[in-house]
Amino acid sequence: MIQEHLKSLGLTKYESLVYIALLQVDGATATEIHEISGVPRASVYPVLDKLSKKQVVNVTTASPKRFAATPPDEAIDSLIARITQDSAAVKNELTAIYEERSSMNHAERQEMIWNIHGIENLNSRAVDQIRSAESEVAIINGKTLMTRPIRDAIRALGPEVTVEIITTGSQGRDDIPTNAQELVIGMIPHPVNVPGEKEPPCIIIIDRRRVMAFVSNANVPSALYSESPGFVSLFTGYWNFVRGHVPIP
């Protein structure tokens, strides 16, 4: 157990064994340390050198050299200080990387198209986007039934958000939230400008600014997500086209 704690403070297995061994004696040579700790003879000197740099072992100038453990309170303080210093350095480096990404202008971020894979990731992104809607959610359901998390996110929207869902009418009563308007069409036309799809895509458009397009013929459930004006325009145009084919009651 104590070795695990020392590991969390930055000591390797051999370093922990040597330090613990030195705590039991009033100084020892490298050979004696090998015998007490069980650390291979060839590894003792490299380990002692590292422990010395970490300020948890002291060394004499006598011949042969003798080594002694730094008292635990001083050793632990030294290790914690080292971790704090290293953490600060890493934090600065990671912050620089993050800020470089954050400095990307809005137009550059908008042009990105993200590939999302796996049903949990799809649900998470779709729910987040639906919850962020300010005025409008437009959905073409295709042959893909909306999952419970997506339906629940729609139900939680306030009255200021209009929700329209185009379906073929094959959905069950519970599949369409009561605060959404279902627009039934006999057959959802395939978008000729979206190649590679065998079935009309299920799409979610948020405020006409963000789009998720589900890929129906993928082996793993997946979707494309983007705020790119071109991408949004493509699927908004498709929504308008399909919306125009909905029979007028």
CATH 1.10.10.10 intervals, the chain:
2-89
Give the separation between CA 232 and CA 210, rounded to whole angstroms. 6
How confident is the model at residue 62, as a pLDDT? 76
Q: What one-character DSSP code corresponds to residue 43?
A: H
Q: Which alpha helices (DSSP H) does 147-224 contain, by range?
A: 148-155
CATH 3.30.870.10 intervals, the chain:
110-243
How confident is the model at residue 196, as a pLDDT? 47
How confident is the model at residue 168, as a pLDDT? 81
pTM above 0.85, yes or no: no
Closest by Cα among 59, 45, 51, 42 to 15: 51
Superfamily name and number for 110-243: Endonuclease Chain A (3.30.870.10)
Give the separation between CA 9 and CA 7, rounded to whole angstroms. 5
Complete DSSP assignment for 182-193? EEE-SSPPPPTT
Q: What one-character DSSP code corresponds to residue 149?
A: H
Domain topology for 2-89: Arc Repressor Mutant, subunit A (1.10.10)
How confident is the model at residue 144, as a pLDDT? 58
**Segment 45-54 long-range contacts (CB within 8 Å, at least 24 positions apart):** 47/12, 47/14, 47/15, 47/18, 48/18, 50/12, 50/15, 51/11, 51/15, 51/18, 51/19, 54/10, 54/11, 54/15, 54/78, 54/79, 54/82
How confident is the model at residue 94, as a pLDDT? 87
* pLDDT averaged per 10 residues, the chain (length 249): 87 93 91 92 92 91 87 92 91 82 57 86 93 94 74 93 87 76 80 55 90 76 89 91 81
